[in-house]
Amino acid sequence: MVDFKRLEDIDVAGKRVLVRVDFNVPCDDEGNVTDGTRLVAALPTINFLRKHKAKIILISHFGRPGGKRETRASMMKLIKPLTSLLGTDVAFAPDCIGKTADAAVAALRDGDVLLLENTRFHKGETHKADGTKGYDPKFAAALAAHGDIFVHDAFSVAHRAQGSTSGIAASLPAYAGLAMERELDHLTQALDIPRRPVMGLVGGAKVSSKIDLLKNLVSRLDRLAIGGGMANTFLAALGHSVGASLCEHDLTDTALEIMRNAERENCEILLPVDVVAAKEFKAGAKHRVCGLDAVADDEMILDAGPATVDKLADAIDASKTLIWNGPLGAFELTPFDTATVEAAKYAARRAQNNGLIAVAGGGDTVAALKHAGVADDFTFISTAGGAFLEWMEGKALPGVEILKK
């Protein structure tokens, strides 16, 4: 259980509040925002601070300019959509430190909002003075000089110790913003103090990218369903033929170890009991449903079969909490999205009608649930990606550690 300092705990009236947001949003070639989800996520914190008469200074990175100025990576493009969302003018400073930034901060009145330029225009955001990874304390101190209070509201970068996160917290008292609070509260509820039985569903392409995740989850869950390409490695470890499927045969011993650990921890492992196989990896490819030992040498497993979806539905019914990360098949290709869509819809119905706490996160996961049309029906969906995974792996996140009481 994370006991952290919250924005509501402090008086911000008249204070300069430095807010770390994540405005690294997708844009088209003309610089127009194509998905404003992260802008919208920051609104509750910004509006709270406006209501309580703080001077609000927003900082964020955008892209990977590598410590150099790039027009396409400028935060200036976000002023118009952010102004529209807030319904008030948003000032802009063409740098995040230095005289221009200092002057822009000094001009703020209570309730004003200022967006500083991309923090990654400075190498000190992500690298020390000697060029090694980390952050330059001098750069972090220059950022911190803009504020009296630091509010971290970007869980998506909480797994990185950077100048605009951990660096600022070395100089200013740090508090969680409302978006950060929501992430931490829901993730804590799902994994640290869950309503049991708690079930995890982990999919995706490779076991190698989620070894730490699986090892941590089997010690904390009551049941764990494994799907996607990574399930093939577990099936192969149990002696099933997976044909030409994506499979990390060199990790079969690791898969067996994870299953043995799960047994010791009384965590039930759920693997596919039937599959959808095809000879081509493309949308609309000729395919068939078959048993685990009926996959031909020239066939690929591209989705879980209907009996597997039924088994997952039964497991969801027997659970009070569900944590979902990753698709069950090649959901980008019809009809190999079927298992992911059907299981997601079933979980969403249980969340809406039967009190299931359904929490999901990770890039592919968000895309898959949006594809299934149920993203708004889960209890909570984290868009944090790497930070979500590291939290689920049980790792300490620098951006959360700075908020602990």
Beta pairing class for 380-382 and 113-116: unpaired
301: phi > 0 → left, psi -120 to 50 → alpha, else beta; which?
Answer: beta
Give the C-alpha separation, 242 to 37, whole Å.
39
Q: Tell me, yes or no, if the pTM score tops 0.85.
A: yes
Respond yes or no: is residue 361 known to be catalytic.
Answer: no
Respond yes or no: is residue 355 known to be catalytic.
Answer: no
Find the catalytic residue in 111, 134, 386, 394: 386
- Residue 2: the pLDDT is 63
Contacts of 241 by beta carbon, 8 Å cutoff, 6+ apart: 293, 295, 297
- Under 8 Å between Cβ of 229 and 185: no
**Phi, psi values for residue 248, rounded to 5°:** -95, 85
Beta pairing class for 149-152 and 91-93: unpaired
Residue 16 sits at the vertex; the CA angle it makes with 10 and 18, to the nearest 5 degrees, is 85
288's enclosing H/E stretch is strand 287-291
Find the catalytic residue in 182, 363, 394, 395: 363
C-alpha to C-alpha distances, 58 to 16, 129, 211, 265, nearest whole angstrom = 11, 25, 36, 45
- Residue 281: the pLDDT is 96
- Residue 265: the pLDDT is 97
Find the catalytic residue in 50, 53, 128, 206: 206
The number of C-alpha atoms within 13 Å of 137 and in the hemisphere containing its C-beta is: 2
Strands (E), 61-173: 91-93, 113-116, 149-152
- Cα end-to-end distance, the chain, whole Å: 12
Burial (CB < 10 A; 0-12, 13-18, 19+), residue 314, is: exposed
All structural domains of the chain: 7-179 (3.40.50.1260), 194-392 (3.40.50.1260)
Respond yes or no: is residue 63 known to be catalytic.
Answer: no
- Residue 385: the pLDDT is 79
Give the C-alpha separation, 127 to 239, whole Å.
47
- Residue 1: the pLDDT is 53
Respond yes or no: is residue 206 known to be catalytic.
Answer: yes
Beta bridge partners of 287: 278
Find the catalytic residue in 6, 38, 120, 160: 38
**Phi, psi values for residue 208, rounded to 5°:** -60, -30
* DSSP 8-class letter at 4: B
Per DSSP, the residues of 149-217 read EEEE--GGGTTS--IIIIIHHTTS-EEE-HHHHHHHHHHIIIIISPPSSEEEEE-SS-STTSHHHHHHH
pLDDT tens string, the chain, 405 residues long: the values are 568 999 999 999 999 999 999 999 989 888 888 888 899 999 999 999 999 999 999 999 999 999 999 999 999 999 999 999 999 999 999 999 999 999 999 999 999 999 999 999 999 999 999 989 999 999 999 999 999 999 999 999 999 999 999 999 999 999 999 999 999 999 888 888 889 999 999 998 889 989 999 999 999 999 999 999 999 999 999 999 999 999 999 999 999 999 999 999 999 999 999 999 999 999 999 999 999 999 999 999 999 999 999 999 999 999 999 999 999 999 999 999 999 999 999 999 999 999 999 999 987 888 899 999 999 999 999 878 788 888 888 889 999 999 998
Please give the structure tokens belonging to residue 281.
């990896």
